[in-house]
Amino acid sequence: MEDTTTPPPPPPQQQQPDQQAPELAGEKRKREEESPAAASGENPSMEATTQPPPPEQQRQETEPAGEKRKREEESPEAAPGDAAPASAAAAPATTGEGERHPMSKTSLCSFFRRRGGGPDGCNHGEACRYAHTEEELRPRPDGTWDPTSDRAKKLRRVSEEEGEGAAGEERRGRWGQEEVTFDESSLDKCLVGLSRHWLADRLKSFLDEQGISYAVAKKKKGMTVGFVTFETVEQLRNAVEVLKENQSGGKQIKIADANRRSHQKLHSEGPVSNNGAATENSSDAAAPADGTSGPEAAGASKRTVRDAVTPLAHMTYSDQLEHKKSSVAQLLKKLTRNAKKACPADVTLPDWISNAKQIGGLSCKLEGILESPVIDGYRNKCEFSVGHSLAGKKTVGFMLGNFREGVTAVEEPVDCPNVSAMSCKYAMIFQDFLQLSCLPAWNRVDNSGFWRQFTVREGRSPAQAVVAQDTQTQISEVMIIIQVCSTGVDEVLMKDEFAKLSKTLVQGAATCSPPLPLTTIVVQDHTGISNVAPADCPLIPLLVPEVDQSEEGAVDKTRIHDHISNLRFSLSPTAFFQVNTLAAERLYTLAGDWANLNSDTLLFDVCCGTGTIGLTLAHRVGMVVGIEMNESAVVDAQRNALINGIKNCRFVCGKVRLMYPNE
Ligand SMILES: C[S@@+](CC[C@H](N)C(=O)[O-])C[C@H]1O[C@@H](n2cnc3c(N)ncnc32)[C@H](O)[C@@H]1O
């Protein structure tokens, strides 16, 4: 959402905190931070004179104002390890028995860092538990570095440059990709930690520079993983040794096991050509004829499609809600910390930041996660990838992992609780068609192929939409979008394939029991390499819905309808619509209740999509103005106002930031 939702901090003169004893705004803040009692109006000095302050208070009193805040902020993510440093600035580096404290010198001393040594800085000298220089700093027991250190910052920068977030690191660790097997029969390996800007040639020259011999090396831009096939175990051992000693750009490149897909294992038993593909002598019926072979990062085979698509599915629903609540809480805390950091020292913190402590550091009260009215099969839009499974079969389903980590295998949507049964049936009809198609499935390694993606969008009928249980019987309209890449494909051949596909889908839907609804089929021609197709990709209608003449403004166009709060929504292929219709209904109603709407309200529906929020709340306000940059979504929104007889809404096409340049 745009920043229009964030109120600007009030001007400092309106915030003068203490009229009787004027002080700088920043001073009061420091005082409040150091002593919660002061903030609540109590006299902190009373306690100090009657009894010795507890160690934490002693530290607060001796520590320069703002230091505590700094400490907390600078190591937020290191909560367990940081508990010791935050409360023990004066603690000795050794324990009573003379042993080194496990956290000794694992954090930089903030006194020293800010003021240097001597009486003005840290006067604990050698006895200080914190490092006084970067050189003195040691890694923490878990192998990580103090996040404020130069070393950690550099590592973070490198990691960001490589396009790898913490999530990627965690995933790689969890999948154990950095395990290497030294075995004649498994000489296909991944190189993990490469620059995503490298292409195969750069990888090859890197290997040559390092004196690493190999048979085949493959690397695609965008991936941080490359694939190398060695000829012998000795070559592999040498590579592991060399990489252990050498770093590239400060970053360790490691070797991990890779999986050859089963058809490739068969090939590798026969002769292998220069480019790593099996030679003509091999006879594997499962091998794709379109050259889409490629090894996978080893983690792929250890995951199921259920793990990849619904990683929380192993938990009970109530545990999932708790898990989400705690993720949101972490985000709200981070928001508070970052906003506090960004606030200049001479500006009084806004209430939501200064009061955050009272609610556990959150930027606002977190009520919890509302349950969805429907839990299984709720998605009204499923985007299936097209590719090859680990077994080498042309498959319509979901990728087993992250492309950047070297995973490209696509597996059938088995046991994915959020996917509707109807979408899976359509995916299987299309998958059967692919086995016979003369055009190739998409290959993510070299961005070639024709069939790229298969999307099923479902529309629910109004009367049943309120009954949450049997999701499949509520689906009355279906739109199928097939994404292809037409580059270099003969037009006549392509049209012929489209005609066959259209027939297959119509027949497949009709012969299901009960028959599946099928309203419209459209092809999206996406010739770019990015995963996300731009909104203006050409659309080719294959099956156009019959025009409902009762509908005002009806045009002969590919669209389906869904319903929220008894309003009918017309949806074009690329327009956004909340994927869980019944949950969206609940969300919008709640948003309306919280917004305290009345007939004088002018409601701005910012990033309005097809106008769902504004239109469902229109009867509770004076006027709605919706802003949306996707042109066809704006047309949908205008049409939706029309077909629902809503007259107090205007929808404007454009980027929000450009419409409010000064906000
Ligand atoms: C997640 S959808 C939400 C749509 C709608 N509010 C709803 O709940 O159905 C976000 C929408 O914002 C639009 N959008 C994203 N960035 C935008 C921007 N800078 N200006 C205008 N619209 C934008 C997208 O095209 C998309 O339709």
433 band by pLDDT with thresholds 50, 70 and 90: very high
Query: In angstroms, rounded to a whole number, what is the distance separating the alpha carbons of residues 610 and 597?
Result: 21
Mean pLDDT, range 564-583, rounded to an integer: 92
Residue with tokens 């600078």: 74
- pLDDT of amino acid 249: 57
Least confident among 98-102, 107-111, 303-307, 651-655: 98-102
**Averaged pLDDT score across all residues of the chain:** 75
Q: What distances in angstroms separate CA 104 from CA 65, 84, 108, 138, 585, one per listed residue?
A: 24, 10, 10, 8, 54
Residue 481 pLDDT greater than 90, yes or no: yes
- More reliable by pLDDT, 536 or 73: 536
Mean pLDDT, range 634-646, rounded to an integer: 94
- Pocket probe for ligand 1: among 3, 576, 631, the residue whose CB has the most ligand atoms within 8 Å is 576
Q: Name the CATH superfamily housing domain 166-259.
A: RRM (RNA recognition motif) domain (3.30.70.330)
Query: In angstroms, rounded to a whole number, what is the distance separating the alpha carbons of residues 357 and 365?
Result: 11
Residue 414 pLDDT greater than 50, yes or no: yes
Ligand 1 atom nearest the C-alpha of 657 is 19
- More reliable by pLDDT, 87 or 646: 646
- pLDDT of amino acid 227: 86
Ligand 1 centre and the CA of 607: distance in Å? 4
In terms of DSSP bridges, do strands 623-628 and 188-192 run parallel, antiparallel, or are they unpaired? unpaired
- More reliable by pLDDT, 498 or 161: 498
- pLDDT of amino acid 108: 79
Residue 173 pLDDT greater than 80, yes or no: no
- pLDDT of amino acid 425: 97
Listed by start position, the domains of the chain span 1-45, 52-156, 166-259, 297-559, 561-659
Q: Which CATH architecture group holds 561-659?
A: 3-Layer(aba) Sandwich (3.40)
Residue 166 pLDDT greater than 70, yes or no: no
Q: Which amino acid is at 222?
A: G
Select from 437, 544, 548, 446 the least CA-distant residue to 493: 437
What would the CATH number be for the domain defined by 297-559?
Answer: 2.40.50.1070
Which residue positions form the known binding site for S-adenosyl-L-methionine? Answer: 578, 628
- More reliable by pLDDT, 73 or 539: 539
- More reliable by pLDDT, 599 or 286: 599
- Pocket probe for ligand 1: among 580, 586, 629, 636, the residue whose CB has the most ligand atoms within 8 Å is 629
194 band by pLDDT with thresholds 50, 70 and 90: confident
Mean pLDDT, range 476-480, rounded to an integer: 95
Which residue positions form the known binding site? Answer: 578, 628
- More reliable by pLDDT, 50 or 582: 582
- Pocket probe for ligand 1: among 567, 625, 628, 634, the residue whose CB has the most ligand atoms within 8 Å is 628
Give bridge partners of residue 384 from the DSSP assignment: 454
Query: In angstroms, rounded to a whole number, what is the distance separating the alpha carbons of residues 55 and 40?
Result: 21
Residue 432 pLDDT greater than 90, yes or no: yes
Helices 79-87, 67-74: axis angle to 10 degrees equals 160
Mean pLDDT, range 308-321, rounded to an integer: 92
What's the DSSP call for residue 335? H
Ligand 1 centre and the CA of 538: distance in Å? 21
Select from 639, 587, 589, 584 the least CA-distant residue to 610: 639
User: Would you call 245 exposed, middle or buried from its count of C-beta atoms within 10 A (0-12, 13-18, 19+)?
Assistant: exposed
Least confident among 295-304, 367-376, 528-537, 631-640: 295-304
Select from 143, 118, 139 the least CA-distant residue to 128: 118
105 band by pLDDT with thresholds 50, 70 and 90: confident
* Closest residue CA from atom 20 of ligand 1: 655
List of residues 6+ apart from 299 with CB closer than 8 A? 171, 172, 174, 175, 176, 177, 401, 405, 407
Query: In angstroms, rounded to a whole number, what is the distance separating the alpha carbons of residues 62 and 568?
Result: 65
Q: What residues flank ligand 1, with Cβ below 6 Å?
A: 576-578, 607-609, 612-613, 627-630, 633, 655-657
- More reliable by pLDDT, 266 or 324: 324
- More reliable by pLDDT, 409 or 155: 409
In terms of DSSP bridges, do strands 567-571 and 602-606 run parallel, antiparallel, or are they unpaired? unpaired
Q: What distances in angstroms separate CA 143 from CA 139, 146, 346, 526, 662, one per listed residue?
A: 5, 10, 38, 45, 46
- pLDDT of amino acid 119: 55
466 band by pLDDT with thresholds 50, 70 and 90: very low
Residue 224 pLDDT greater than 70, yes or no: yes
Element (H, E) at 587: helix 581-594
- More reliable by pLDDT, 336 or 31: 336
Q: pLDDT exceeding 70 applies to what percent of the chain?
A: 68
* Closest residue CA from atom 1 of ligand 1: 576
* Closest residue CA from atom 16 of ligand 1: 607
Residue 279 pLDDT greater than 50, yes or no: no
- pLDDT of amino acid 8: 34
Query: In angstroms, rounded to a whole number, what is the distance separating the alpha carbons of residues 480 and 459?
Result: 12
Chain segment 242-273, per-residue pLDDT in tens? 888 776 555 678 888 776 554 343 333 332 22
- pLDDT of amino acid 549: 52
Ligand 1 centre and the CA of 199: distance in Å? 35
Ligand 1 atom nearest the C-alpha of 605 is 6
* Closest residue CA from atom 27 of ligand 1: 609
Select from 210, 217, 266, 196 the least CA-distant residue to 240: 210
Chain segment 490-538, per-residue pLDDT in tens? 999 999 999 999 999 999 999 999 999 999 999 999 999 888 898 889 9
* Cβ atoms < 10 Å from Cβ of 416: 24
Give bridge partners of residue 388 from the DSSP assignment: 394
Residue 402 pLDDT greater than 80, yes or no: no
Query: In angstroms, rounded to a whole number, what is the distance separating the alpha carbons of residues 330 and 326?
Result: 6
* Cβ atoms < 10 Å from Cβ of 22: 9
* Cβ atoms < 10 Å from Cβ of 435: 9
64 band by pLDDT with thresholds 50, 70 and 90: very low
Sign of CA dihedral 377, 383, 388, 393: positive
- pLDDT of amino acid 156: 66
Residue with tokens 């279906």: 478
